[in-house]
Amino acid sequence: MSVKITFHGHSAFSLSDGTHTVLMDPFITGNPQAEAAGITAESISCTHIALTHGHEDHMGDTLAIAKRCDATVLGPFELCNMLGEEGLEKLEPANPGGGVDMPFGRITMTQAFHSSSFGGRYMGMPAGLVIRMGDTTIYNTGDTGIFGDMALIAEIHRPDVLILPIGDRFTMGPADATRAAEMVKAPIAIPCHFGTWQSIDIDPARFAPHGVEVRRLEAGGSTEV
């Protein structure tokens, strides 16, 4: 069974097995890449939302989409508490190292070296997500710097696809992201979190891991794995 991965710009992706759709970090409104591609929050549907951290460019349209789609939201504990105060009831709080069985497989939260706040409020630990959908495993590192235990996470979960930021300044830049992809050794890598704004406008050709197929998606584009 294959999984369809759709990119909505910046760090927003949908993963679909044909029955369930997991939307990750749905920053659509105000996302220049999504808006240039004509993608709106209202145009995206899902059964689940998975969040890496609380920053506005990841939380994005979570509340509106979750309410409209009656979607279950998985995210860091403190972030889920805040979403609960905003009226969401279908929440799956987690923290790095923990996993949650889902109707399509499992989501494990991993560590990320970053920060996490929303409106000045602490939103818990930032995270990466290992999402197993059927027999396909996708490791989304979330916003993070490089760290050696990415290799351990890869050894444990054997990801088929790595999604990682390459835009520099707030996350890994292309050189460190290249090292990270070579360390994780997933056969396919999909870069994100670059080019959205001038501050993270790097040349994506500098992300060139050996032995890894790079699939660079445009906003609105998708690929099957």
Region binding Mn ion by CB under 5 A among candidate stretches 28-36, 143-151, 176-184, 197-205 = 143-151
- Report the distance separating Cα 180 and Cα 193, nearest Å: 15
143 binds Mn ion per the rule CB under 5 A: yes
Residue with Cβ nearer Mn ion (25 or 133): 25
Q: Which of 8, 10, 48, 55 binds Ni ion (CB under 5 A)?
A: 55
Longest CA–CA span in the chain (Å) reads 46
Region binding Ni ion by CB under 5 A among candidate stretches 81-89, 127-135, 136-144, 175-183 = 136-144
- Report the distance separating Cα 56 and Cα 216, nearest Å: 23
Tokens of 198: 């001038």
Query: Among residues 152, 69, 73, 81, which one has the least CA distance to residue 110?
Result: 152
Residue with Cβ nearer Mn ion (132 or 193): 193
Contact in structure between 188 and 215 (CB atoms under 8 Å): yes
Q: Report the nearest approach of Ni ion to the CB of residue 25 (Å).
A: 9
Q: Where are the alpha helices (DSSP H) in the chain?
A: 32-36, 56-59, 62-69, 77-85, 150-157, 174-184
Region binding Mn ion by CB under 5 A among candidate stretches 51-59, 83-91, 118-126, 154-162 = 51-59
Alpha carbon of 47 to those of 16, 20, 44, 78, 150: distances in Å?
A: 10, 6, 11, 22, 28
* 141-180 footprint of Ni ion as x/- string (CB under 5 A): --x-------------------------------------
Q: How many residues bind Ni ion (CB under 5 A)?
A: 2
Alpha carbon 220 to chain centroid, angstroms = 15
Region binding Mn ion by CB under 5 A among candidate stretches 65-73, 130-138, 141-149, 201-209 = 141-149
Q: Report the nearest approach of Mn ion to the CB of residue 220 (Å).
A: 20
Give residues in contact with Mn ion (CB under 5 A).
Answer: 57, 143
Give residues in contact with Ni ion (CB under 5 A).
Answer: 55, 143
